[in-house]
Amino acid sequence: MDSNTAPKKVLLVDDDQFLLNMYTLKFKNSGFEVETGNTAAAALQKLRDGLVPDVILCDLVMPGVDGLELIKKVKEESLVSHSKIVVLTNQGQSADIEKAKSLGVDGYIVKASTIPSEVVEEVKKILAK
């Protein structure tokens, strides 16, 4: 199977299990392979263990290490140099968006104003760039 037909891998990081399940289903139904982490630490461990997702979707507000810290660590450790990083959060304040953009994220999606199928479409667009 060549790389053009291989399913894209997405790593979903969110402490809300309901949302993880919902987004997992949406992405799988759209042909993605899905890995999840319900904490930033769990996600980091998967990446350090060799997981190479095409896109990382992460929440900002999580217990312990938050999403911004996760993104910083991923970048600092060069864990996934070619992966797209997309913030998926309820934090819609411009300060949060600026912080995330300063870390070089590829997209910023506010959960409250986006339905799951739109999230999948947005991720597809980001991957196509």
pLDDT tens, residue by residue, 56-67: 999 999 999 999
Mean pLDDT of the chain: 93
Per domain, the residue ranges of the chain are 9-128
Q: Tell me if 74 sits within 8 A of 47, measured CB to CB.
A: yes
**Predicted local distance difference test score (pLDDT) of residue 67:** 95
**Other C-beta atoms lying within 10 Å of the C-beta of residue 51:** 17
Q: Tell me if 58 sits within 8 A of 71, measured CB to CB.
A: yes
User: What value does the mean pLDDT take over residues 44-56?
Assistant: 96
What are the percentages of helix, strand and coil residues in the chain, rounded to 5? 45, 20, 35
**Predicted local distance difference test score (pLDDT) of residue 80:** 86
**Predicted local distance difference test score (pLDDT) of residue 11:** 98
Whether 5 shows a pLDDT value over 80: the answer reads no
Distances (CA, A) of 59 to 13, 77, 116, 129: 6, 20, 14, 22
Q: What percent of the chain has pLDDT over 70?
A: 97
* CATH number at 9-128: 3.40.50.2300
User: What value does the mean pLDDT take over residues 104-120?
Assistant: 94
Put the strands of the sheet holding 9-13 in their side by side order.
33-37, 9-13, 55-58, 84-89, 107-110
**Predicted local distance difference test score (pLDDT) of residue 1:** 39
Rounded to an integer, what distance in angstroms lies between the CA atom of residue 49 and that of residue 46? 5
